């Protein structure tokens, strides 16, 4: 994938170096095209060293290769971060007085602009009109974050974190794949609402907890954490800020998530509650973690020895008795907290239920009962046992809504299951639009 990273002349240019790393670590070839004033903030050697490619700001270098046309034409994606007020103005009005604005005129791929400037500038009618004009033409203009600006002041205008820009860029590309943007037109892809969770904060718990028996042993479970990781990755791709409360998993953490590593159910409970309550709260909490229902009542401080068991007797004779105590039910705790006003009423709560059918009911019957018992907005029910669900790439689920809706999804890769879950969440978060309102899974 060939990415052009345009860098405007703002203090946030330093964050573009991190964005560049995210693209190159993902295997992209990145050509950095800074403006002349961007180089006052971060110098040419930094861009050249990090990208491994030549860096120019004007159209007079390597003229024989016609870079002002070639770079834009060959790009699969153009991302500009930070996009200053000046750059937005020049882009909106088709000016071409440096290499970057030439690239913007010649590119036929998706274009993502990440504005950053002071609040007064971002809210000035001229800038508002320029951003609107660019959007009308199919350019994807991210909303800046709200927060601390260059000085002591705060407000909207802050460059979104590199991870969010990266995720939005990847989502835009995926939209382009599905939207037929290979036909030379950037408009259909860029107007696809691929970032329906943009500006949202979601908490995803993943993996299996471990409850210590002694310093080296634990009670654990077979969760690989794949479904939770896929949920976090897809939420990031759809523009969300993701807190990823990760117990023990077999898979890498999704790039761009805020990772809170935990081990036991109690640690997981504390981390999930803190993330759901803090910093303006969460729009959704998805409990994909396999949380142990019980823990040893008194974990040993030193390693349990064979001699701690019965001294004589056959090898498979009576062993050691363990006493277990109940762990809190984290999901039920979230539901109770929301009811009592400790969490915003609009927080969407999602549980997963790993079920096996038995003489008292089928998988879905157990799921329906659990959905009523747990009181979450959505319960994602899947059948486990016989090699199903745990550690596999695919999954088959039924998403049960507290409103009585049921949607069967799969067999499908866990990423597609994750998207179906976020579709259902997005419908319940006020103000969001589902990206995949389709029943084709």
The residues carrying an active-site annotation are: 221
The distance of closest approach from Cβ of residue 413 to ligand CTP in the complex, given in angstroms and rounded to an integer, is: 20
Show the site string, 312-331: x = touches ligand CTP by CB under 6 A, - = not.
Answer: ---------------x-xxx
Distances (CA, A) of 413 to 77, 389, 397: 26, 11, 11
Q: Which is nearer to ligand CTP, 41 or 352 (CB)?
A: 352
The distance of closest approach from Cβ of residue 422 to ligand CTP in the complex, given in angstroms and rounded to an integer, is: 16
The distance of closest approach from Cβ of residue 245 to ligand CTP in the complex, given in angstroms and rounded to an integer, is: 11
Strand-pairing partners, residue 75, are: none
Among 203, 201, 196, 199, which residue's Cα sits nearest to residue 349?
203
The distance of closest approach from Cβ of residue 387 to ligand CTP in the complex, given in angstroms and rounded to an integer, is: 18
Contact between 352 and ligand CTP by CB under 6 A: the answer reads yes
Token pair in block for residue 72: 């834009």
Show the site string, 382-421: x = touches ligand CTP by CB under 6 A, - = not.
Answer: ----------------------------------------
Which of 171, 173, 206, 287 touches ligand CTP (CB under 6 A)?
Answer: 287
Token pair in block for residue 380: 């994602």
Token pair in block for residue 27: 């295997």
Burial degree of 191 (CB within 10 A; 0-12, 13-18, 19+): middle
Which of 81, 106, 351, 432 touches ligand CTP (CB under 6 A)?
Answer: 351
Q: Which is nearer to ligand CTP, 259 or 332 (CB)?
A: 332
Contact between 289 and ligand CTP by CB under 6 A: the answer reads yes
Burial degree of 299 (CB within 10 A; 0-12, 13-18, 19+): middle
Q: Which is nearer to ligand CTP, 317 or 387 (CB)?
A: 387
Q: Which is nearer to ligand CTP, 193 or 299 (CB)?
A: 299
Please tell me what DSSP assigns to residue 358.
B
The distance of closest approach from Cβ of residue 287 to ligand CTP in the complex, given in angstroms and rounded to an integer, is: 4
Q: How many CB atoms lie within 10 A of CB 284?
A: 28
Question: Considering only 73-81, 133-141, 184-192, 346-354, which stretch makes contact with ligand CTP by CB under 6 A?
Answer: 346-354
Contact between 225 and ligand CTP by CB under 6 A: the answer reads no
HEC profile for 20-63?
HHHHHHCCCEEEEEECCCHHHHCCHHHHHHHHCCCCCCCCCCCH
Whole-angstrom distance, CA of residue 323 vs CA of residue 325 = 7
> Which residues in the 253-272 window bind ligand CTP by CB under 6 A?
265
Contact between 425 and ligand CTP by CB under 6 A: the answer reads no
Distances (CA, A) of 182 to 168, 173, 187: 19, 10, 11
Q: Which is nearer to ligand CTP, 109 or 287 (CB)?
A: 287
Contact between 424 and ligand CTP by CB under 6 A: the answer reads no
The distance of closest approach from Cβ of residue 320 to ligand CTP in the complex, given in angstroms and rounded to an integer, is: 24
Contact between 335 and ligand CTP by CB under 6 A: the answer reads no
By CB under 6 A, the count of residues binding ligand CTP is 13
Whole-angstrom distance, CA of residue 408 vs CA of residue 404 = 13
Residues 6+ apart with CB under 8 A from 14: 41, 42
The distance of closest approach from Cβ of residue 414 to ligand CTP in the complex, given in angstroms and rounded to an integer, is: 15
Q: Which is nearer to ligand CTP, 21 or 370 (CB)?
A: 370
Residues 3, 28: contact at Cβ < 8 Å?
yes
Burial degree of 6 (CB within 10 A; 0-12, 13-18, 19+): buried
Token pair in block for residue 405: 């809706």
The residue number with the shortest CB distance to ligand CTP is 330
- Chain residues binding ligand CTP by CB under 6 A are 265, 287, 289, 291, 293, 327, 329-331, 351-354
């Amino acid at each position: 994938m060939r990415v052009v990273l345009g860098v405007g002349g703002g203090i946030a240019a330093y964050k573009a170096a991190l964005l560049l790393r995210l693209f190159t670590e993902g295997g992209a070839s990145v050509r950095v095209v800074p403006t002349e004033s961007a180089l006052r903030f971060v110098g040419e050697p930094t861009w050249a060293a990090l990208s491994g490619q030549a860096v120019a700001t004007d159209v007079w270098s390597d003229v024989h290769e016609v870079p002002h046309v070639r770079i834009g034409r060959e790009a699969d994606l153009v991302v500009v971060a930070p996009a200053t007020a000046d750059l937005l103005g020049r882009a909106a009005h088709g000016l071409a007085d440096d290499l970057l604005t030439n690239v913007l005129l010649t590119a036929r791929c998706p274009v993502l602009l990440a504005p950053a400037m002071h609040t007064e500038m971002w809210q000035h009618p001229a800038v508002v009109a320029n951003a609107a004009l660019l959007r009308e033409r199919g350019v994807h203009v991210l909303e800046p974050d709200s927060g601390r600006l260059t000085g002591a002041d705060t407000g909207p205008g802050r460059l979104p974190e590199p991870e969010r820009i990266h995720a939005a860029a990847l989502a835009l590309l995926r939209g382009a794949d599905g939207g037929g943007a290979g036909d030379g037109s950037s408009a259909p892809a860029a107007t696809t609402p691929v970032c329906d969770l943009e500006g949202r904060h979601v908490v995803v718990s993943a993996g299996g907890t471990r409850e210590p028996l002694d310093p080296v042993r634990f009670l654990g479970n077979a969760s690989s954490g794949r479904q939770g990781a896929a949920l976090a990755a897809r939420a990031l791709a759809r523009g969300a800020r993701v807190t990823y409360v990760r117990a023990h998993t077999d898979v890498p953490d999704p790039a761009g998530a805020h990772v809170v590593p935990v081990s036991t159910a109690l640690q997981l409970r504390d981390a999930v509650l803190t993330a759901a309550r803090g910093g303006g709260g969460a729009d959704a909490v998805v409990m994909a973690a396999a949380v142990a229902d019980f823990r040893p009542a008194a974990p040993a401080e030193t390693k349990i020895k064979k001699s701690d068991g019965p001294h004589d007797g056959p090898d498979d004779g009576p062993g050691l008795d363990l006493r277990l105590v109940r762990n809190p039910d984290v999901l039920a705790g979230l539901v109770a907290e929301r009811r009592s006003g400790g969490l915003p009423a609009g927080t969407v709560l999602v549980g997963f239920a790993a079920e096996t059918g038995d003489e008292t009911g089928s998988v879905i019957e157990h799921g329906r009962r659990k959905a009523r018992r747990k009181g979450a907005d959505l319960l994602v029910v899947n059948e486990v046992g016989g090699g199903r669900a745990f550690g596999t790439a695919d999954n088959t689920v039924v998403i049960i809504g507290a409103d009585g809706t049921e949607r069967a999804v799969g067999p499908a890769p866990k990423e597609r299951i994750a998207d179906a879950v976020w579709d259902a969440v997005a419908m319940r978060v006020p103000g969001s639009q589902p990206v995949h309102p389709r029943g084709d899974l």
